[in-house]
Amino acid sequence: MPGRPKKPFRASAKLLAEGLPSPFPRTLAPNALKYLREVVDSGMTTDMMGRFEKAFAEALGVQYCIATPGCTPALHGLFLACDFAPGDEVIVSPITDYGTVQGLLAQDLIPVFPDTPPGNINFSAETIAPCLGPRTRAILCVHKTGIFCDMDPINALAAQHGLMVFEDCCQAVFGQYKARLAGTLGHAACFSFDPEKTMGSDTGGCMVTNDPELHERARYCAQNRAGTMRAGFGRVHTDVGYAYRMPQCTAAICLAQLEHVREWVAHRDKMARLTYRLLSEIPGVTPVPIPSYVDVFSCWMMGFNLAPGAFRCPPAEFAATLANAGISTASLAEYYLMPAALEVLRRKTEEGCFPYSVPPASRTYTYSAESCPNARDFLKTFIRWVTFCEKWQPEHCALAADIVRETANHYRA
Ligand SMILES: Cc1ncc(COP(=O)(O)O)c(C=O)c1O
């Protein structure tokens, strides 16, 4: 079908002067102040955290939600609740944030990072399979930038091996995989509501699950400090426990944000797909692929890869030029490569520190970029920015694509 001739996009002087929107100042839903006032007026007696937990669980269609001060403590709470022993292994996405792994490290579990398939930001069932062993207990999937891991084959593989499947949904809040919501695709999932994130508050996070035992144990160990009353004595602590409770004022803001997040996510989906379509028209530029199983792309972070040899500058210079030209925060993010970034693990494995001593580990481990060559190569040419947000309109998508196009033309080999 003959397409309409495309008008070249020309950003207005006003748009150029204003620049691309960023998440700050944060969009706060209308009821934020109302719920905060309720907390204050009640003299801290209202159970805003409980209200948020109920509302979030209902919105996701799950049985249980435990609200925490962030995703990092939520994931720690999840691993506290699991019946895993020091030296047991958890398969973890190799491209992620440190917050994904801190909880399992705290429990002396050993992360194993499979590679990604070439050109992909997430791992897959095929790359996970060779990493499974007798000590593997769980697979922790990160839906990086809002692109889902392909969960059906991962769940099938996990079922074959009797493994638990967890999701880190920090970057995919209310995204949908084959019409199913992020956070409902495994045994449990954790979220972040830090101020930069899609449902941003001042801080905050949560764990969700349909498993009553996992819920009960996470509530007990992660929120109630593993404390239980003994007659004639008072509280005793039967386990290592923490008080990872979402603050009431944070819960008030999260509750208000929850009322609007789905419309923000629907808008992000449209704007992200538009931006990626425009970027894909630029020779040498490959936006993160959006697989067809992503029904709602809750894009948190935008990014693309540069074709090797297509430009006369290193990727870092390309990114710096974009940042100067108006895509603020554009930069490489090689530090997302966990096996390379976790120097602590390199040291511990070299020194044979617990739990990397044998026992409790049953083999030796090495952590380096070379263990995940595809993920390493992906990140070497991956330029991303974190200022994409619900405020973007089609003209912002076009402006961002124009900036990338002009930079690409400038540096084209
Ligand atoms: C994928 C991922 N996991 C975990 C975290 C940690 O979340 P929080 O800051 O709420 O602890 C982040 C935060 O950036 C993240 O992006």
**Residue found by looking up tokens 């490569």 in the block:** 337
Say what the pLDDT of residue 1 is: 45
**CA–centroid distance, residue 101 to ligand 1 (Å):** 10
Tell me, yes or no, whether 255 lies in a domain: yes
**CA–centroid distance, residue 335 to ligand 1 (Å):** 14
With pLDDT > 90 as the criterion, what percentage of the chain qualifies?
A: 95
Q: How far is CA 207 from CA 67, 188, 351, in A?
A: 7, 7, 34
User: How many C-beta neighbours within 10 Å does residue 326 have?
Assistant: 18
Contact 183, 60 (CB under 8 A): yes
**Pocket, ligand 1, Cβ cutoff 6 A:** 70-72, 96-97, 99-100, 142, 168, 170-171, 192, 194, 205
Contact 390, 264 (CB under 8 A): yes
**Cα dihedral 60→66→72→76 (10° resolution):** -120
Say what the pLDDT of residue 375 is: 98
Say what the pLDDT of residue 9 is: 61
Over the stretch 81-98, which tens digit does the pLDDT of each residue have? Answer: 999 999 999 999 999 999
Tell me, yes or no, whether 139 lies in a domain: yes
**CA–centroid distance, residue 405 to ligand 1 (Å):** 31
C-alpha angle 280-286-290 in degrees, rounded to nearest 5: 80
**CA–centroid distance, residue 16 to ligand 1 (Å):** 32
Tell me, yes or no, whether 63 lies in a domain: yes
**Residue found by looking up tokens 């239980």 in the block:** 228
- Please tell me what DSSP assigns to residue 222: I
Q: Could you tell which of 75, 192, 246, 388 is best to mutate to test the pocket of ligand 1, judged by most ligand atoms within 8 Å of the CB?
A: 192
Q: Where are the alpha helices (DSSP H) in 297-365?
A: 315-325, 338-341, 343-351
Q: Could you tell which of 66, 68, 72, 92 is best to mutate to test the pocket of ligand 1, judged by most ligand atoms within 8 Å of the CB?
A: 72
Tell me, yes or no, whether 101 lies in a domain: yes
**Residue found by looking up tokens 């080999």 in the block:** 413
Tell me, yes or no, whether 365 lies in a domain: no
Three-state SS at 31: coil
- Please tell me what DSSP assigns to residue 146: G
Tell me, yes or no, whether 118 lies in a domain: yes
Total structural domains within the chain:
1
Domain at 104, CATH number: 3.40.640.10
* Residue 227 pLDDT greater than 70, yes or no: yes
Look up the domain containing 158 and give its range: 32-260
* Residue 285 pLDDT greater than 60, yes or no: yes
Tell me, yes or no, whether 319 lies in a domain: no
Tell me, yes or no, whether 299 lies in a domain: no
